[in-house]
Amino acid sequence: MGTSLPPKEANLFKVIVKSYETKQYKKGLKAADSILKKFPEHGETLSMKGLTLNCMDRKSEAYDLVRRGLKNDLKSHVCWHVYGLLYRSDREYREAIKCYRNALKIDPDNIEILRDLSLLQVQMRDLIGFVETRQQLLALKPNHRMNWIGFAVAHHLNSNAPKAIDILEAYEGTLEDDYPPESERYEHGEMLLYKISLLEECGLFDRALEEMHKKEAKIVDKLAFKEQMASIVLKLGHFEEAEKMYRFLLVMNPDNYRYFIGLQKCLGLYSDKGEYTSDAIERLDALYKSLRDQYSWSSAVKRIPLDFLEGDKFQEAVDNYVRPLLTKGIPSLFSDLSPLYEHIGKASILEQLFLHLEDSIRSTGSFPGSSKKEPPSTLMWTLFLLSQHYDRLGQYDLALAKIDEAIEHTPTVIDLYSIKGRILEHAGDLPAAAALADEARSMDLADRYLNSECVMRMLQADQVGLAEKTAVLFTKDGDQHNNLHDMQCMWYELASGESYFRQGDLGHALKNFLAVEKHYSDMTEDQFDFHSYCLRKMTLRAYVSMLKFQNQLHSHEYFHKAAACAIRCYMKLHDSPSKLTTEESDEMSKLPPSQRKKMRQKQKKAEARAKKEAEERNEEETTSSGISKSGKRPNVRLVDLDPHGEKLMQVEDPLLEATKYLKLLQSNSANSLETHILSFEANMRKQKILLAFQAVKQLTKLNENDPDSHRCLIKFFHKISSFTSPVSDSEKLIWNVLEAERPQISQLNEKSLIEANKSFLEKHKDSLIHRAAAAEMLYVLEPEKKLEAIKLIEDSKNNIAVGNGTVSPVSVWKLPDCVTVHRLLETVFDDQGAASRWKARCAEYFPYSTHFGGCRSSTLTCTSNNSFKNMPENGVAACQDNNPADSHSLNGALHAIEDLKIS
């Protein structure tokens, strides 16, 4: 127990606690000062004053006071609890848990401390400790509903769902027959639905169904009740009863795809892979025809058959589906149809249909077989659809011809410019795509989506300065960086970081990529407040779902991309350290070890001092801006001490920083080839042979035919072969492991590396990227055969794709692959002649590509017109007419884009 105070001061201490709880911090501070005048070393008062100051954003003073209070009263559970709260506010959860445990040693039955400890344990996923703490809370206060529910949830999270069910049933046994009262009906219903979901999870379907029938009157959420009952009845194999339930649900919402899937399962007509027999297709067709008669207004009942129908029936169904949407003018129609392109033969049917519709509308003004005249806009939307179709197939000439005709038909439709920009982006003309996106944006300045699309196109074209100026139009107070960061605008930060990386600005690139990583850390922290809220409000199913989502949070696409790009930045820093870092390293290396250590300590102190001075300046600015009545300072934006990311580049060991993010990728994106490619590259730089070999094994396991998997395999064993004979015991152990593992790799089984490379080439001789990988490895294994390796690439043929199911020919080569090969010839082979020949060859295949200087690219058009606009900051030159006409575009007239029309 803490040191006791006289009655007057004891009452003042209660005022401090109450003021803290009600956020009246100035009042609490005043009460604390009153006590400390008489008892300046009273530990609990010092701790509470520190906690109050922490809420007023005076952290350094807060920590000093709390530590002083704890030093004066080590046996006070209040001091330890406050110290834990301080750590918790700074997200130092492990330290906070230590403080709470120390407090519980002094006061084991303190409910507040136990509750706070349980929240930290579930946040840190210490599930065993969470179960123990929740059990202790239930034992101390068994008449509290939240303690029963918390104990059940703890066991569920700890993979003990049967125990959770027993706890909930024991809790129900404590309730009276007329429970719940009207005010708690929803919460009690949610608890019952949670219990039923636990029974379903355990496979106890009979018990779950019995429970549902028994408790139906007490469950308020009737829709969730019916959905769960239909699911359980289906799993029990009562197909007729389940069919009735799903048909009833369809009456409520005939556009819910899950209900249609459930109905198909009831009738034995569902396949996870979407593969059906001809008999099953007939039955499905009959089912959806009857449903279409019943729910004629439903779009789902018309769209779903397109996935399983084939041949003439597919053509008829898609024709009926497309016509009314073209008449209405639905811009998202192609996005809706795009999954059908993955089905063999359907792309050809779609192309024939679209061309037939276009021809009929042109000649008769109506759809084939119809006497009803279509509005003029129907032709425009048909051309719009066709342009996206050809874009999807990589036939950019035809796509641009159609979209240009649509623009000429109706030049005021914004979507036409957006799609033309997208086509040009796919064709490789990024500056022209950015200009068109800006043209679309300027036609509706109040549209945030158009603004965002324009910013993305500008970043893809490396026009970072212009992109920032455009993005600021939809941010507050003109402060684009901070507002975009506060809004967690990750697509912008990723695109901006990638643009800076392409331009070699690793500081700005790292700053953007690490900002994305910070957002994911914030999301992890944001779950903290829900631990107590969800138990109190009884939103248990949503709560458990949220926790499962949080466990997989770092496997999200944006985090993977940010982490992978950050790793590449750090590896590039390791390979080519910045000049400043190199100079500092040279100076350091000249000093003796003792002085080197002192120098590093001085640098750290200087950085800490600069940070503290910046914080003090922030506090002064805050003070001058005024303090709220509660005593809390208003939010003032912190000064960015490293606006250009220079300090991020000055890390002592870039590979150590890269490893931090690599571990996150390995634990959350283990099925990604990129994860293991990065692991291989980083560990080879660090000379971690076994870890690099582990990455190679994972790559061959995931996809042994991938070009990068082949590169890593050959590079690894080629590097190993150049090592000297092992001397130390650890080297001998590594060597023995590699010797034992090599025969298990099928590609190298009784083959030399040269033979394995030839075998890989023979297996994939018709693929450009595989030939390039084999050529690169030939050069690595036999440098004297450089010309032969280059010839391997140059002998590649751009054949017409076979079996793509389209009417028009489609080439096999893709623009990104050709760009990669061009860079390979420039950098790895270091042969400018071969690179120039490849560039000229690809310029013919990709005439709109600015990278290859295609004859129809905006760069060449600008050069031929001899009319350049000033280069935007960090950007690519955009064309401007000598006599610019009025234009909506921020970048001026778009004559260079108009020149791209197909005559």
Q: Name the band, by pLDDT with cuts 50, 70 and 90, for residue 1.
A: very low
What one-character-per-residue DSSP string does 471-494 give? HGGGSGGG-HHHHHHHTT-HHHHH
287-296, 371-380, 692-701, 881-890, range with the lowest pLDDT? 881-890
The residue type found at 530 is F
| pLDDT tens per residue across span 440-496 | 999 999 999 999 999 999 999 999 999 999 998 888 765 555 678 888 899 999 999
Euclidean distance between CA atoms 71 and 141, whole angstroms: 33
Euclidean distance between CA atoms 460 and 498, whole angstroms: 8
pLDDT at 323: 96
- pLDDT (average), residues 727-751: 86
Euclidean distance between CA atoms 575 and 573, whole angstroms: 5
pLDDT at 872: 40
Q: Among 66, 26, 29, 64, which residue's Cα sits nearest to residue 44?
A: 66
Per-residue buried b or exposed e for 702-713, using 16+ beta carbons within 10 Å of the residue's own CB? eeeebbbbbbbb
Q: Name the band, by pLDDT with cuts 50, 70 and 90, for residue 35.
A: very high
CB 678 within 8 A of CB 564: yes
Euclidean distance between CA atoms 846 and 397, whole angstroms: 10
Euclidean distance between CA atoms 506 and 644, whole angstroms: 9
| pLDDT tens per residue across span 223-269 | 999 999 999 999 999 999 999 999 999 999 999 999 999 999 999 99
Res 619 pLDDT > 60: no
Q: With pLDDT > 70 as the criterion, what percentage of the chain qualifies?
A: 86
Q: Name the band, by pLDDT with cuts 50, 70 and 90, for residue 868.
A: very low
pLDDT at 483: 77
Tokens 């109706």 found at: 410
Burial of 884 (0-12, 13-18, 19+ CB in 10 A): middle
3-state secondary structure of 454: helix
pLDDT at 5: 87
Q: Among 533, 822, 758, 564, which residue's Cα sits nearest to residue 672?
A: 564
Euclidean distance between CA atoms 383 and 326, whole angstroms: 10
Residue 113 token pair: 């401390």
The residue type found at 864 is S
Tokens 């796509």 found at: 399
595 or 148: whose pLDDT is higher? 148
Res 299 pLDDT > 80: yes
Give strand pairing partners of 879: 868
CB 566 within 8 A of CB 510: yes
278-282, 539-543, 782-786, 890-894, range with the lowest pLDDT? 890-894
Res 862 pLDDT > 80: no
Euclidean distance between CA atoms 244 and 227, whole angstroms: 12
| pLDDT tens per residue across span 95-141 | 999 999 999 999 999 999 999 999 999 999 999 999 999 999 999 99
pLDDT at 750: 80
Q: What is the pTM of this model?
A: 0.86
pLDDT at 597: 64
pLDDT at 481: 59
Res 617 pLDDT > 60: no
Mean pLDDT of the chain: 88
Q: Name the band, by pLDDT with cuts 50, 70 and 90, for residue 590.
A: low
Q: Beta-carbon neighbour count of residue 373 at 10 Å?
A: 12
Res 568 pLDDT > 90: yes
68-72, 574-578, 608-612, range with the lowest pLDDT? 608-612
Euclidean distance between CA atoms 675 and 672, whole angstroms: 5
What one-character-per-residue DSSP string does 331-354 give? TTHHHHHGGGGGSTTHHHHHHHHH
Euclidean distance between CA atoms 796 and 845, whole angstroms: 13
For Cα atoms 374, 375, 377, give the angle at the middle one, nearest 5 degrees.
Answer: 120
Res 611 pLDDT > 80: no
Residue 658 token pair: 């890269």
Q: Name the band, by pLDDT with cuts 50, 70 and 90, for residue 178.
A: confident
863 or 451: whose pLDDT is higher? 451
Q: Which DSSP letter does residue 78 get?
A: H
pLDDT at 390: 95
45-49, 227-231, 419-423, 865-869, range with the lowest pLDDT? 865-869
- Which of 3-17, 663-677, 720-734, 789-803 is the most confident on average? 663-677
Euclidean distance between CA atoms 447 and 438, whole angstroms: 12
CB 245 within 8 A of CB 233: yes
Q: Among 439, 398, 524, which residue's Cα sits nearest to residue 807?
A: 398
pLDDT at 593: 66
Q: Name the band, by pLDDT with cuts 50, 70 and 90, for residue 501.
A: very high
pLDDT at 746: 84
